[in-house]
Amino acid sequence: MENANLKPISYIPKKSPFFKTRKFLGTYGIGLAFILPAFLIYGIFQWYPILYNFVLGFQNYTPGVPADWVGLQNFERVLSDSVLPKAFLNTLAFTGWALLIGFLVPVIAAIAITELRKGRSFFRLSIYMPTIIPAISLYIMWMFLFNPAVGLLNQILQFFGLPALEWLLSQKTALVSLVIMSTWANFGSTALLYMASLSAIPEEYYEASEIDGAGIWQRIRYITIPSLLPTMLLLLLIQLLATMQVLQEPFVMTSGGPNNATMTLMYMVYNYAFVYADFGRAGALGIMLFLLLLGLSVVYIRVNKIVQDEGR
């Protein structure tokens, strides 16, 4: 194959300046041609925007008008925005709640359902069901469930003799309500992943520990949890990165309200760009968010390494 490819160029004198290029193209040309479309698409719609964001933050830019450089002005304007501290705390709170609830529920669900001897596929389907509902349908549905007067959630609270809540309409509960909704919608797919990891645990581990007299809790502690750990850590990072950028839920359900109780960092970016058409400021906050997430990922990778080294 190689030789066949090289034949046509063999009569070009070896010192010709084209020789190297032709040889290069002869060897790699087809491969490069195959990869070129992906390269262009990635370049234009992914790599360039990611890099462009770093330029945007230092510019004053309105589409159609030439951009001018403004140094750190955008960053100053973002940092002096009175909404920023609130949005930052909300984002952290959302992430914290989402990890607290959204991290434990799937693990418990996966362990419980894997233990069942009957009806496992039914229960698997039932917890995966909400994941299939498209986002906007989900929001319409939950606007109804959250309704303080006629919604299902207050019906349930009243059934147990608890006082009714305002849910999305109250500053105190709006954020947690959003977390409850997204946990309901997403825990199924996460639980499914844990189930896959659980079924990959060799039976012999459990048998051996049982023969050694380990009880159920000890088996969970020393076999199940350590086997799930890599998956748990990976999902923790993915959930962390995703929830730090929460935008869609508050955008649709609460418009960031009431009184900015559900305003998040990413929502501020969105507002800067699409409400105030202030793309420079959006870029600046985007850069800060990006660096924050990058920092978190680095910390995460470090911690992950330490945890895994200790596990060994």
The distance of closest approach from Cβ of residue 204 to another protein in the complex, given in angstroms and rounded to an integer, is 10
Tokens 């330029």 belong to 55
Q: Is 276 in the site for another protein (CB under 8 A)?
A: no
- CB closer to another protein, 93 vs 230: 230
How far, rounded to the nearest angstrom, does the alpha carbon of residue 137 sit from its chain's CA centroid? Answer: 20
- CB closer to another protein, 95 vs 190: 190
Site for another protein in 82-101 (CB under 8 A): none
The DSSP element (H or E) to which 119 belongs, if any, is: none
**Measured between alpha carbons, how far apart are the two ends of the chain, in Å?**
47
- CB closer to another protein, 152 vs 303: 152
The distance of closest approach from Cβ of residue 255 to another protein in the complex, given in angstroms and rounded to an integer, is 6
Q: What angle do CA 65, 69, 73 make, to 5 degrees?
A: 115
The distance of closest approach from Cβ of residue 307 to another protein in the complex, given in angstroms and rounded to an integer, is 19
Site for another protein in 157-216 (CB under 8 A): 158, 184, 188-190, 192-193, 195-196, 198-199, 203, 206-207, 210, 216
Size of the site for another protein (CB under 8 A): 109
Beta bridge pairs of residue 60:
68
Taking CB under 8 A as the rule, which mask of x and - marks residues 103-142 in contact with another protein? Answer: -----xx-xxxxxxx-xx-xxxxxxxxx-xxxxxx-xxx-
Tell me, what DSSP letter sits at residue 81?
-
The DSSP element (H or E) to which 277 belongs, if any, is: none
Tell me, what DSSP letter sits at residue 275?
I
- CB closer to another protein, 12 vs 234: 234
- CB closer to another protein, 18 vs 24: 24
The distance of closest approach from Cβ of residue 300 to another protein in the complex, given in angstroms and rounded to an integer, is 11
Q: Is 291 in the site for another protein (CB under 8 A)?
A: no
CA-wise closest residue to 263 among 57, 79, 53, 94? 94
- CB closer to another protein, 140 vs 162: 140
Site for another protein in 21-80 (CB under 8 A): 24, 27-28, 30-32, 34-35, 37-39, 41-42, 44-50, 52-53, 56, 61, 63
Contact between residue 78 and residue 285 where contact means Cβ atoms under 8 Å apart: yes
A 10 A CB-CB count for 182 gives 23
Contact between residue 141 and residue 133 where contact means Cβ atoms under 8 Å apart: yes
- CB closer to another protein, 42 vs 310: 42
CA-wise closest residue to 22 among 39, 36, 5, 43? 5
Q: Is 255 in the site for another protein (CB under 8 A)?
A: yes
Contact between residue 98 and residue 182 where contact means Cβ atoms under 8 Å apart: yes
